[in-house]
């Protein structure tokens, strides 16, 4: 069976080596017996049909890059929402998932309308960043301990279904609920190659993708 992967904004949302997540998912899916095809789209692309893909990934970028991507995504809002509703597996890491809420207020006080797929809000502040190594648990993969790194200037409010629970921190990140999981969407402010650092999490995502393959 063929697994179609979309690497979204591969060039400007790859601040911390997030392309490692694509390579990891490709490897794990191949190990499960899938033929993997990877497509890459960025802000110069004028045609994107999100419903064509089995797995969609977007990584972290600067705040300016994220804002540019948000404006580009508005042209494909309906397609992305349909893919989400259809159960397409998606992983958005770092600040990329902030684009999908109701609103995003930047550090200089400008409020931008989000894509509205979820009802959370995001507010940046320019005086402090939250950063540090974190450990967290993941109940749906067997309550196992995972690891990662967070570096952000934003706070997300209104999350109803967190992805992880941060249990310990070396740095200034707060413990407690983190990220978002609804349907087959996974969003986290953990940056970098989170699937490489946590192969069981990668295997869990790949299982979801493989089970939903259409051919």
pLDDT in tens, 84-129: 999 999 999 999 999 999 999 988 889 999 999 999 999 998 778 8
Sheet holding 121-124, edge to edge: 111-113, 103-105, 121-124, 154-157
Q: CA 105, 68, 90, 149: dihedral to nearest 10 degrees?
A: -70
Question: pLDDT tens digits for 49-58?
Answer: 999 999 999 9
pTM over 0.85: yes
- CA dist 113 and 185 (Å) reads 20
3-state secondary structure of 30: helix
pLDDT tops 70 at residue 20: yes
Helices (H) and strands (E) in the chain, counts: 5, 15
């Amino acid at each position: 069976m063929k697994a179609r992967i979309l690497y979204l904004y591969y060039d400007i949302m790859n601040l911390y080596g997030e392309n490692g997540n694509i390579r990891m998912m490709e490897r794990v899916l191949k190990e499960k017996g899938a033929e993997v095809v990877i497509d890459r789209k960025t802000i110069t692309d004028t045609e994107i049909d999100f419903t064509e893909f089995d797995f969609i990934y977007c990584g972290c970028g600067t705040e300016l890059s994220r804002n540019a991507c948000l404006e580009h995504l508005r042209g494909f809002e309906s397609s992305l929402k349909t893919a989400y509703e259809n159960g397409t597996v998606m992983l958005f890491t770092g600040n990329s998932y902030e684009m999908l809420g109701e609103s995003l207020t930047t550090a200089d006080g400008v409020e931008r309308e989000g894509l509205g797929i979820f009802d959370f809000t995001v507010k940046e502040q320019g005086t402090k960043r939250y950063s540090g190594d974190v450990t967290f648990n993941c109940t749906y993969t067997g309550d196992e301990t995972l690891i990662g790194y967070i570096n952000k200037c934003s706070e997300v409010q209104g999350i109803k279904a967190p992805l992880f629970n941060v249990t310990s921190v070396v740095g200034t990140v707060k413990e407690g609920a983190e990220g978002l999981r609804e349907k087959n969407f996974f969003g986290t402010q953990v940056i970098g190659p989170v699937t490489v650092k946590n192969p069981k999490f990668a295997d869990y995502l790949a299982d979801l993708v493989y089970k939903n393959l259409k051919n």
